[in-house]
Structure 1
Amino acid sequence: MSLAAPGDRLSLLCLGAHSDDIEIGLGGTILRWIGEGKQLDVYWCVASAGNERAAEARASAEAFLEKAASYSIEIGAFQDSYFPVQSREIKAWLLALRDKVDPDVIFTHSREDAHQDHRELSKLTSNVFRNHLIMEYEIPKWDGDLGTRNTYVPLSEEALAAKVALLLKHFGTQRSKDWFDKDTFQGLARLRGMECRAPARFAEAFTVRKFLLA
């Protein structure tokens, strides 16, 4: 199945709890679709990013979306690690987003993600956006919460290499973390590529709970 052909416009709402989440979860997909000539209109929203991480988030988003047809970047101010107790305020933020955008596809965190912020944002996304295609992406971490996915986007070696290079370039605050490196991102993409028999061996994987075949 294809969501759009080269030359077609496709509107995306990308939601991330933290400054590097969107890039890790679907950065390769964004770069692939742009490289294929799909005209992406992207609303890129990061719920929590303070000070230095906010600057990283904006610079990274601009780099990933440099060749998109159009884009808008929104950086929220919710408190990192405390999303469950900010649920009411985050829902209001998402409702305001719903009044501004009507995307073809929404990307958000996995419902089963072990990080409380990721999980809360995913739950509220599906609650607020009931009439949209939602694709839940994954974030590797020490919790070992990677699960079974049912939707894949194959990546070329070039798209994956560009994704990894941009991640390592823009997120200096994260480089000290033992999981934030080329091997992690390439290794996960190789496993997901194996699962879907991706032509170039790499892929990003998602969970789709509901979709309508017309």
Structure 2
Amino acid sequence: MIDLHALHLAEVAVLGAHCDDIALGVGGTLLTLSSISPGIRVRALVLSGGESRREIEERHALAALCPGADVELDVLDVPDGHAPAYWEPIKTALEGFRHRCAPDIVFAPQRGDAHQDHRLLAELVPTVFRDQLVLGYEILKWESDTPKPTVYHPLTLAVAEEKARVLIKHYPSQTDRDWFDEESFLGLSRLRGVQCRRMHAEAFVLEKMTVRFGRT
């Protein structure tokens, strides 16, 4: 398996349809980036949960996942499960968000997600972030929509376990779901680790990229 190294990241953008999507999909990667790049700018946008208990959970979780980072989070109030009916305000919000950040990498849901809110966001992000590397993350849930990832980010066992602890600690509103537990989180990251010959990993679907050979 070929390793590609992204060096000297100054800023990343993370987008989620719901509070906890980002932590589920890219929480371990955020922990890693914050550790190796102190002061990295993390710009986050979540479509639903604004001015609710879930926004409070999201702010605490992102602070825990991005220690030492410069974090800015916007949480909108699009009704959960109804994002397709709010296409225009979501597109406008994404365009405004794009003008407020300059990310080296964008993390967003992957296009094959079965949840309509996740899928709409996945479809819109590349229409706004046209010149950035966009990696589509997977969101663990009961639907059988697990993607066939093409990019893996290995995690240490410590990072995988810390991600699981953050999810349980900072999203108490979700712990009544029968799949929302550390065993599920570590099971998925272990599976992705097996697929890239590491102990644990987060996996992504690549939107589009270019590759250069030699000095050109």
TM-score (norm 2): 0.93
Q: Give the Cα–Cα distance (whole angstroms) in 2 for the partners of residues 53 and 204 of structure 1.
A: 24
The letter for the 2-side match of 1:162 is E
Q: Which residue of 1 aligns with 2:151?
A: 151
3-state SS in 2 of match to 1:186: helix
Superposition pairs of residues 187-206 of structure 1, within 5 angstroms: 187-198=187-198, 201-206=199-204
Q: 1:58 maps to what in 2?
A: 59
Gaps of at least 5 residues in structure 2 are: none
The aligned counterpart of 2:111 is 111
Give the 4+ runs in structure 1 shifted more than 6 A: none
Counting only pairs closer than 5 Å after superposition, residues 1-214 of structure 1 correspond to structure 2 as: 1-4=4-7, 8-37=8-37, 39-50=39-50, 51-68=52-69, 70-198=70-198, 201-214=199-212
Distance 1:71 1:54 in 2: 14
| 1:132 Cα deviation after fit | 1.1
Q: Distance in 2 between matches of 1:55 and 1:157?
A: 28
Q: Secondary structure at the match of 2:41?
A: strand
Percent identity, aligned pairs only?
Answer: 37
Q: Give the SS at the match of 1:123.
A: helix
Deviation at 1:37, TM superposition (A): 3.8
Quick one: which amino acid aligns to residue 208 of structure 2? K
User: 1:10 Cα shift?
Assistant: 2.5
Give the Cα–Cα distance (whole angstroms) in 2 for the partners of residues 18 and 155 of structure 1: 24
Distance 1:30 1:43 in 2: 11
Aligned residues: 208
The answer to whether the 8 A contact 2:9-2:104 is kept is no
User: 1:2 is aligned with what amino acid?
Assistant: H
Q: Are the equivalent residues in 1 in contact too, given 2:43–2:72 (CA < 8 A)?
A: yes
Q: Distance in 2 between matches of 1:129 and 1:9?
A: 17
On the 8 A contact 2:192/2:203 being kept in 1, the answer is yes
Question: How high is the TM-score relative to the length of structure 1?
Answer: 0.94
How big is the shift at 1:38? 5.6
How many Å apart are 1:36 and its aligned residue?
Answer: 2.7
- Whole-angstrom CA distance in 2 between matches of 1:124 and 1:37: 29
